[in-house]
């Protein structure tokens, strides 16, 4: 069996459901979920308050290459912009799922979070969500898929994430 080239990245502002989608995909055949926050703690590029996101993605994609060598596809839930990731790509095909929202929903969801780390600046995440909305595509062979979390409840978001992951793993996601 040849090594998969795919890396699946779930991005979005805080509280849009990245970790929830990642948890939903955890344990599915052929996928390994690697939390971006956990990777960030181990990356010199982002440790101790540094903000070298391209350096972080070089580290993250190196970890993903090791995972891929075991014949499974890594899924990385992480706040990121596609340019940050694609600048660090070597041989990967990155399939993005951007979970989008709006200012009111992002603020409400951040305020309602319980049992997770505090988000110090909701406005930063509102601005990040807007930046993701401005992305219309990524260069082929990479793919860009969006899902508006306002469109439905968490079950619908999970189903959209599962469908996207299966299509990306199978190579049938639209460019």
Render pLDDT for 116-171 as a digit per residue (tens, 0 to 9): 666 668 898 999 999 999 999 999 999 999 999 987 788 999 999 999 999 998 88
Q: Output the pLDDT for position 1.
A: 41
Q: pLDDT > 70: what percent of the chain?
A: 88
Entry pTM: 0.90
Model confidence at 47, in pLDDT bands (50, 70, 90)?
A: low
Q: Would you call 29 helix, strand, or coil by DSSP?
A: coil
CA-CA-CA-CA dihedral for 165, 169, 170, 174, to nearest 10: 60
pLDDT band at 50 (very low <50, low <70, confident <90, very high): low
Which strands, in side-by-side order, build the sheet including 143-148? 31-33, 73-77, 6-12, 93-100, 143-148
pLDDT, averaged across the chain: 88
At 33 the pLDDT is 97
Distance CA 75, CA 77 (A): 7
DSSP 154: H
3-state secondary structure of 147: strand
Q: Is residue 41 scored above 90 in pLDDT?
A: no
């Amino acid at each position: 069996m040849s090594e998969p080239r795919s890396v699946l990245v779930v991005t979005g502002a805080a509280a849009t459901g990245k970790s929830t989608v990642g948890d939903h995909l955890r344990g599915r055949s052929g996928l390994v979920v690697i939390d971006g926050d956990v990777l960030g703690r181990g990356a010199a590029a982002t440790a101790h308050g540094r903000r070298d996101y391209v350096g972080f993605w070089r580290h993250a994609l190196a970890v993903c290459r090791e995972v891929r060598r075991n014949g499974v596809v890594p899924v990385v839930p992480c706040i990121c912009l596609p340019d940050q990731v694609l600048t660090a790509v070597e041989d990967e095909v990155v399939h993005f799922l951007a979970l989008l929202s709006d200012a009111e929903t992002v603020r409400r969801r951040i305020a309602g979070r319980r049992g997770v780390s505090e988000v110090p600046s909701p406005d930063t995440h509102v601005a990040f969500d807007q930046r993701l909305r401005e992305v219309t595509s990524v260069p082929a062979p990479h793919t860009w898929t969006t899902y508006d979390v306002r469109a439905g409840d968490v079950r619908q978001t999970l189903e959209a994430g599962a469908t996207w992951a299966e299509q990306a793993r199978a190579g049938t996601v639209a460019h």
